[in-house]
Amino acid sequence: MRKNLIKAGDEHLQYEIREIVEIANEIVKRGVPMIWENIGDPVAKGERLPSWMKEVVQQAVDEDQTYAYAPSKGDLEARRFILQHYSNHEICTVEDVIFFNGLGEAINKIFSNLPTDARVIGPNPTYPSHATAEAMHHGGHHLTYPLDLTRNGRIDVAQLERAVREGEDIVGILVINPNNPLGVVHPREDLEAVVRIAREHHCFLIFDEIYQNIVFDPSMIVRLADIVGDVPAISMKGVSKELPWPGSRCGWIEVYNADRDENFRGYINTIVISKMLEVCSTTLPQVVFPKIVGHPEFAGFLATRIAKYQSRANQALEIFAGCDTLRPVVPDGVFYLTVTFDSERFPKTEKLAAVNADVRDYLNSLEASNELRRDKLFAYELMGSEGVCVVPLSGFSSPYDGFRMTLLEENAELFDETCRRIRRGAEAFFRS
């Protein structure tokens, strides 16, 4: 090429949740059937869409208007519905609700429209799309503040405050509540502290609240809209998890207090213009969203799903209990379980008995050519020996070694078997 085609910072492009699949597929090719525990897709894990929901979609498919472009910010009725049911009209108007083709797109637009030296600090562990998009826009490592796993994932407010005070480039603070990968819900006290820090240091807030309605005890959840006060902010929500319809590629942002700061309003306008360049997001899921969420069957359907995730969490916690190599983070909701390893107690690791020699050769070549963190090594070895694909926690910008699995499995017996295989693998992998 006449000139370099690769942007500075591209080495930070990472999405372990899907990257692990390429390795898993190589292992499948060598004769190991795989249990997929890597991705948060309820449908892929066997969840059935109820017939009433399909009927709503089918009716919309019969309407010619759903084949037309939508307004760039999104379908007006859907935005009105969101304002009424998800947002707060004192800090947000219908013009401040903007649809995207999935929150994944919104994440990209939010970070890529910031100047390269304007940084957003986010949690670790974190959902990798945020970390990678922020790192890419800046061309360096993502800045993070810790979630303290010794205190069930609570925000280390002191460290966050220090980082914001000392990091003059920090313009925004990202919170994922409830958190992916941890599944924990942040308490009001910590969230209010984050809002205070943003206010005192003239930063804006980004709260990814895509899982806000998937919590075991709904009274635990504190929404950004209820505590943000006068701080400029963005709340992110979407269709992928709540409905369950990740293939709809439909999510939205609610901008709060946009007019309280001219500079923030200007930034939001650049996001809107970059959306206009694409014309709009896909019309159909926006149009049907209010009809599905407003359907008389919806609340009961969602409650049943949440109860299932809770019972899977209990099942896993029971099977992992007493296994001193595995330290699960007790989730408050969402459909993931994060499990860490204790690095002090288990310094040595073993290779596991691979299902066949071909798989062993493949794993050896993979492991020899890379400096692997041991949670990656564990994930590879687990696939080769037990046929279970989990995501290494290091893929979530985590300083802790461990893995994330899902709570989505429809079949309780298969889930039981999956947890037992993971436990067996971990017990063989770690040498005390």
Q: Per rule CB under 6 A, is residue 310 in the interface with ligand PLP?
A: no
Which residues have C-beta within 8 Å of that of residue 83, sequence separation ≥ 6?
A: 89, 92, 93, 94, 97, 254
Q: Which of 38, 66, 132, 180 binds ligand PLP (CB under 6 A)?
A: 180
Segment contacting ligand PLP by CB under 6 A, of 98-106, 152-160, 192-200, 282-290: 98-106
Taking residues 192 to 231 in sequence order and writing x for each that binds ligand PLP by CB under 6 A, - otherwise, the string is ----------------x-x---------------------
Tell me which residue of 210, 249, 174 sits closest to 336, measured CA to CA: 210
Q: Per rule CB under 6 A, is residue 82 in the interface with ligand PLP?
A: no
Closer Cβ to ligand PLP, 45 or 374, answer by number: 45
Give the Cα separation of 390 and 377 in Å (integer): 11
Strands (E), 177-247: 204-208, 233-238
Q: Which of 24, 27, 37, 40 binds ligand PLP (CB under 6 A)?
A: 40
Closer Cβ to ligand PLP, 208 or 381, answer by number: 208
Q: Per rule CB under 6 A, is residue 103 in the interface with ligand PLP?
A: yes
**Smallest separation (angstroms) from ligand PLP to the CB of 363:** 28
Give the Cα separation of 173 and 155 in Å (integer): 12
Closer Cβ to ligand PLP, 207 or 429, answer by number: 207
By beta carbon distance, the residue nearest ligand PLP is 102
Q: Per rule CB under 6 A, is residue 238 in the interface with ligand PLP?
A: yes
The region, left, alpha or beta by phi > 0 then psi within -120 to 50, assigned to residue 285 is alpha
Residues 388 and 421: beta-carbon distance below 8 Å: yes
Q: Which of 42, 74, 102, 395 binds ligand PLP (CB under 6 A)?
A: 102
Residues 174 and 206: beta-carbon distance below 8 Å: yes
Q: Per rule CB under 6 A, is residue 281 in the interface with ligand PLP?
A: no
Phi, psi of 405 (to 5 degrees): -120, 175
The tokens 């959306």 sit on which residue?
275
Closer Cβ to ligand PLP, 21 or 323, answer by number: 21
Q: Per rule CB under 6 A, is residue 257 in the interface with ligand PLP?
A: no
The region, left, alpha or beta by phi > 0 then psi within -120 to 50, assigned to residue 229 is left
Binding site for ligand PLP (CB under 6 A): 40, 102-104, 127, 176, 180, 208, 210, 238, 240, 246, 251
